[in-house]
Amino acid sequence: MTAPARHERTERVRELALAEGFDAVGVARLAPAASGAALRRWLARGDQAGMAWLGRRVERRLDPRESLPGARSALVVAWRYAPVAEGGEAGPLGDLWRGVARYARGADYHDFLLERLQRAGQRIAEELPEMDFRAYVDTGPLLERELAVRSGLGAIGKNTNLLSPTLGSWLLLGVLLLTLDLEPDPPIGDLCGECARCLEACPTGALPEPFRLDANRCISYWTIEHRGPIPAELRVGIGEWAFGCDVCQEVCPWNGRPAPLAGREELRPPVAGRALDLVALLELPDQELRRRLTGSPLLRPKPAGLRRNAALVLGNAGRAEALPALVRALGDPSPVVRGQAAWSLGRLGGSQAREALEAAGAVEEDDGVLGEIARALAALD
C-alpha cells in the first residue's frame, strides 16, 4: 500500500473510532515491547505484591501480536473521566465519594469502554471487511500504557500513569488490535522534567523512585485488590481513601489544565437506593451491598473488603458518631472486618470502645482478630 493510501485509511479508521466519543485516538505499529526488561525487573523485585496474574503469560504480554493472529496495528483510545463539573460527583454516594478514586465514582469502565471499542471495531470492519480486530480494556495480557506511548497519546509520568499534554492523566485507556497496516503516530517526549511532586506526595511511599510503583505500599492495591487484613504499618497512611487513591494525580501539574467534564452519563454513580455513606457501607450485608452497587467498580474488593475499608477510614477520620457502627462490626461475619473494626476502636478510644473490645475478646475465636483486639486494648492503655 502506498503512503498516501495508508494515510487516508489511517485517518478514516481514526474518524470511525472517534465517532464513539473517545477523547483521543492514537495509532501504534505492533512490535515487541520496549519495556520488557523493566517489566521483568519489576516482577523480580515483587513490586506486583499479591497480583500474581501480572507475572503470567509474560512473553505474550510483551508482544501484542500474540493476542491476535495477523495483527499489524493498534488503535489506542483515551476517555477522560475527571474533573467532573461542579456538583456532578456526590450523587447517591453521599459522603463516601470523597474517598473513592475518581475513575470508580461512576459505572464500571470495563463495561462501557469495551462496548464502545467493540462498536468502533464493527464500524471499521463494515468498511474494511477483510480486517479482523480484538478489543481490550484492561482485560488481557497487553501493556496498554506502552502502546499508548507508542501511539503518541502521551508519555509515562514518574507516577507510572500516562500523561497527555492536552488531557492530563485522568484517562481510561482501551486498545483495538487490527489486522491492518496503518500509519503510526509519532511519540512525544518526556513531560515530567525535574518535577517530583507525585513521589513526594504519595502518603505510603509507593513511588520509591521515578517511574516505579511498588504495589506493596500502594493504597489502591490494598483497598481494591487485596482480600485480607491491611498491614498495620500502612493503615494510618491510607487516611480516608475507602477505594483507590488519586493523590499522585491530584498533585500533577498536567492535571490543572483540562476543562471540567459535564453530561457524561457514565460518570453518574450507579448506586441503587438511598445515599451510601461510610457507616452504611460498614453495616450493609453482602447481598444488599451487591444490589446497591450493581454496575459499579466498587464491588471489586468484594463486600467484606468494602466493609474493611469503611472500618479503616472511620478509624482514621476519628468520627465519634461512627463508634456504635464499629462496635456492631465486631460481630461481622468476616474476621477481616472484625479485626479492622477492633483497630479503629483502638484509634477512637473511650470507655465504650474498651468495653466493646473486652466483650468481643471474650467470645472471639479467630486468632487474627484476637490479636487485633489485644493490640487495640493496649493502644487504649
Looking at the annotation, which residues are catalytic?
138
Burial per residue of 38-71, b for 16 or more beta-carbon CB atoms within 10 angstroms, e otherwise = ebeebeeeebbbeeeebeeeeeebbbbebbbeeb
- Give the SS3 label for residue 239: coil
Report the C-alpha gap between 76 and 294 in whole angstroms. 28
- Yes or no: say if 269 and 98 are a contact pair by the CB < 8 Å rule: no
- Residue 248 has which C-alpha cell? 499522585
- Other beta carbons within 10 Å of 212: 17
- Residue 364 has which C-alpha cell? 472471639
- Give the SS3 label for residue 178: strand
Report the C-alpha gap between 164 and 145 in whole angstroms. 12
- Residue 254 has which C-alpha cell? 498536567
With 0-12 CB in 10 A as exposed, 13-18 as middle and 19+ as buried, what is 230?
buried
CA proximity to 276, closest of 106, 97, 110: 97
CA proximity to 80, closest of 150, 152, 21, 149: 21
The residue written with cell numbers 520509591 in the block is: 208
- Residue 244 has which C-alpha cell? 483507590
CA proximity to 198, closest of 251, 246, 255, 254: 251
The residue written with cell numbers 516505579 in the block is: 212
Q: Fill in the amino acid letter for 324.
A: P
- Yes or no: say if 53 and 105 are a contact pair by the CB < 8 Å rule: no
